[in-house]
A and B are shown apart, each in its own frame.
Chain A
Amino acid sequence: MAESSLSPVVIVGTGVVGVVIAEQLLDAGIPVLMLEAGPRVSRAEIVENYRNLPLAAKGNPIECYPSRPWAPHPEPAGAGKGYLQLSGTDSYAQSYVRYAGGSTWHWAGTCWRLTPADMQLHSRYGVGRDWAFDYATLEPYYTRAEYQLGVCGPDDQALQWPPQRSKPYPMPALPFGPGEARFTEVVREKLGLNNIPTAQARNSGTSYDDRPACCGNNNCVPVCPIGAKYDGATALSRLEARGAVIRDNAVVWRIETNAQNRIEAVHYYDPQRQSHRVSGTLFIIACNGLETPKLLLMSADGRNPDGIANRSGQVGRNMMDHPQITMTVTLEEPYWAGVGPVVNSGIMETSQGDFRAEHAGAYFRFNNFARNRFVTFDALQKGLVGKALDEEIRRMTACTADIVLAHEILPDANNRLTLSDKKDGLGLPKPAIHYDVGDYVRRSLEVYSLPIANRIADAMGATHRVFSKQFNQSKHIMGGTIMGLDPANSVVDAECRTHDHPNLFLPGGGAMASTACGNSTLTMVALAFKAADAIVKQAQEA
């Protein structure tokens, strides 16, 4: 079914990257059409989904976001079960949602920046890749991202990560709960480590962006019940009020090129598998670091036999994340994780150093989720009743904690997304991902992060410690459309414009050339701002 778009710019995806770019275009007076594979839902629906889950399911954020049959995302049951076809030494078991607003629905809101060194791994340490530009180039875009999302953070430069900043955070840091305060105290006094306030897209002490102040509901993941945390969905109505057209349940399955190898149109299926064609002059594909390369590969044509934007062969390669190990400690004294936001502090200094020539850095995080849901089943299994049961649940809630060891990883072409021969509900190929965290990460665990974690456990007075048995994913999907200056070994340029198609942009985590250790979203948004400037300029010239 042909459909001529009234908008010169078509954005595929309504997550944080798509909505930030849409807003920049609207600011410049350029109309936009946004296509979203999944449904548009209310916050109340997700909150009720969460509250109605059994206790055993509350730990998986995706349980609140059931896939629609036409837009599956990874989930333990339903349309998304088995969606990711995984292979390799390690499991690239990601979670994300295909809903309007995207995966910031269930992010923690953490907004670490990269450091200057994080962007120059190859030139400084001889590993990985350098970025196409330096930190000074990215810094103004970080600032715009922080003001757009509403990021709170400390005023004290000694507590900022990194301290190279051109403007203060728009809001002050959130206070620590008692567990974080005690953790901060013991790692400083006993180990000399600095546990600093997390920069986070959560309103601190005041409203911001027409959203209320955080009230410590301790439910940022899977959903902030009051919208104090930024998520992409909070922007959708504002975009529409400004003239954006948002079409949900529209699964883009093909990118069409013309004789000049420019992008001419995208095609999407509606839930009834009727296909629609939308033309335009500029196209932004921002539908997640995994779905974007999948769509590029699915769209292979005679001019682009290996997929759109894939002359380099790098589309779908270099899939990255922050491989993490969780250390669960049992403590003699109560820490009481679970007061305030779920992620509110971290030890970042351990991510930096000349050791990066040999192994990955790591960031250590005291998880601040209320621990009832993690300990209640174990307490009940002890066969206790009455007062003894009450006391055991309370003791285990107060005196246990999770410390997360999050590692950086290097881009590796063998960590690769391809198209599976298995099909989803619309008959589209499921993504297949082969993954191995690599020796750089494993060596870090052996000689660096695990020893530090053990010292942290000792400092906390741990009487028992348990480590996860394998690397788990942090759900920070990066690398699949990697950025670089050389079209022979990268997919997009410094503006996230594809080397192969001058009117196609792929902003977001896929462009990141290194991961560092901190969460990727703020960098994705900074890249979105940088791309948006180029897109606006290109649209105005057109």
Chain B
Amino acid sequence: MSTSRDLPAGHVHLSRRQVLLSGAAMVAGGLVSAALPRWAFADSSLHFIPFMQVSRLLVNHELDDAVGARMLALLQVDDPQLGQKLSQLLAIARSQQATVVEAFFPAIPAGPVQALAYRIIFGWYTGSLTATRSAKSVAFEQALTWRTTQDILTIPSYGISGPNQWQRANVPVLPVPQF
């Protein structure tokens, strides 16, 4: 099955086949929440590949396509200029020949495009797009905040060890585990 990982990060222009493939991947993988309206899926799928490309440039970790699809659907509802801003972010990254966020983030001008970049990062780390109790959740286990501490802390409600087996030495803050 094709996924967004099949495409290079700098690839911006989508062929009809690629658009169809991205939509097929989401449908086959059951990636789109049943709670989302049909139009949201149809429209979001158009931006799925660039969205995941931007996401992987902004957040240099393993990212889950299903989480991305849910986040994209919410972003699309809020922002009619989303596709244009994604293209701008990809263009900035390409201009800097960037493969990691540190290499191009300073080149993103303050304003709506930078705000989108921060919002996408926020979404991947927290699993929601705002710090409010009514925010839609797009991820729990996959929210990256838990990955930063995965060598010592369980994701609450999941187990990390067996009965009474959690005594351990304090681990240092650095290095951050790979994820």
Binding site for B on A (CB under 8 A): 47, 50-58, 60, 63, 76-77, 174-179, 181-182, 203-206, 213-219, 223, 225-226, 333-336, 338-340, 369-370, 372-373, 376-377, 380, 383, 385-387, 389-391, 393-395, 397-399
User: Counting CB contacts under 8 A, is B40 at the interface?
Assistant: no
Q: CB-CB < 8 A to A53: which residues of B?
A: 137
Contact between B170 and A216, CB atoms less than 8 A apart = no
Q: Mark B59-75, 1 if CB is under 8 A from A, else 0.
A: 01000000000000000
Contact between B137 and A338, CB atoms less than 8 A apart = no
Contact between B170 and A334, CB atoms less than 8 A apart = yes
Q: Which listed residue (A50, A175, A214, A399) contacts B157, Cβ 8 A?
A: A50
Chain B residue nearest to A342 in the complex (CB): B156
Q: CB-CB < 8 A to B159: which residues of A?
A: 215-217, 226
Task: Name the interface residues of B131-167: CB closer than 8 Å to any CB of A.
Answer: 131-137, 140-141, 143, 145-146, 148-149, 152-154, 156-167
User: Counting CB contacts under 8 A, is B173 at the interface?
Assistant: yes
Q: B41 to nearest A CB, angstroms? A: 20
CA distance A218 to B166 in the complex (A): 11
User: Counting CB contacts under 8 A, is B100 at the interface?
Assistant: yes
Q: CB-CB < 8 A to A225: which residues of B?
A: 157-158
Q: CB-CB < 8 A to B163: which residues of A?
A: 203-206, 213-215
Contact between B167 and A181, CB atoms less than 8 A apart = yes
User: Counting CB contacts under 8 A, is B172 at the interface?
Assistant: yes
CA distance A335 to B169 in the complex (A): 10
Chain B residue nearest to A176 in the complex (CB): B167
Contact between A77 and B102, CB atoms less than 8 A apart = no
CA distance A226 to B156 in the complex (A): 12
Binding site for A on B (CB under 8 A): 58, 60, 100-102, 105, 118, 121-122, 125-128, 130-137, 140-141, 143, 145-146, 148-149, 152-154, 156-174, 176
Interface SS of A by simple majority? loop
Q: CB-CB < 8 A to B121: which residues of A?
A: 380, 385, 389
CA distance A214 to B162 in the complex (A): 8
| 15 A–B pairs (Cβ distance < 8 Å), ordered by A | A50-B157, A51-B141, A52-B140, A54-B130, A54-B136, A181-B167, A216-B165, A339-B168, A370-B149, A372-B149, A386-B100, A391-B176, A393-B125, A394-B174, A397-B148
Chain B residue nearest to A59 in the complex (CB): B133
Q: Which listed residue (B58, B60, B135, B157) contacts A217, Cβ 8 A?
A: B157
Q: CB-CB < 8 A to B143: which residues of A?
A: 55
Contact between B148 and A394, CB atoms less than 8 A apart = yes
Contact A380 to B122, CB < 8 A, known contacts A219-B157, A334-B171, A370-B153:
yes
Residue among A63, A213, A214, A215 with max Cβ neighbours from chain B (10 Å): A215
Q: B2 to nearest A CB, angstroms? A: 28
Contact between A336 and B153, CB atoms less than 8 A apart = yes
Contact between B164 and A218, CB atoms less than 8 A apart = no
Contact between A177 and B167, CB atoms less than 8 A apart = yes
Q: 5 closest pairs, A vs B, by CB?
A: A213-B163, A54-B135, A54-B128, A57-B133, A215-B159
Q: CB-CB < 8 A to B168: which residues of A?
A: 177-178, 339
Q: CB-CB < 8 A to A216: which residues of B?
A: 154, 159-161, 165-166
Contact between A77 and B157, CB atoms less than 8 A apart = no
Contact A213 to B164, CB < 8 A, known contacts A218-B153, A370-B153:
yes
Contact between B133 and A76, CB atoms less than 8 A apart = yes
Q: CB-CB < 8 A to A370: which residues of B?
A: 149, 153-154, 156
Contact between B154 and A218, CB atoms less than 8 A apart = yes
Contact between B133 and A54, CB atoms less than 8 A apart = yes
Contact A338 to B153, CB < 8 A, known contacts A54-B128, A394-B148, A394-B176:
yes
Contact between A389 and B125, CB atoms less than 8 A apart = yes
Q: CB-CB < 8 A to A56: which residues of B?
A: 126, 128, 130-133, 135
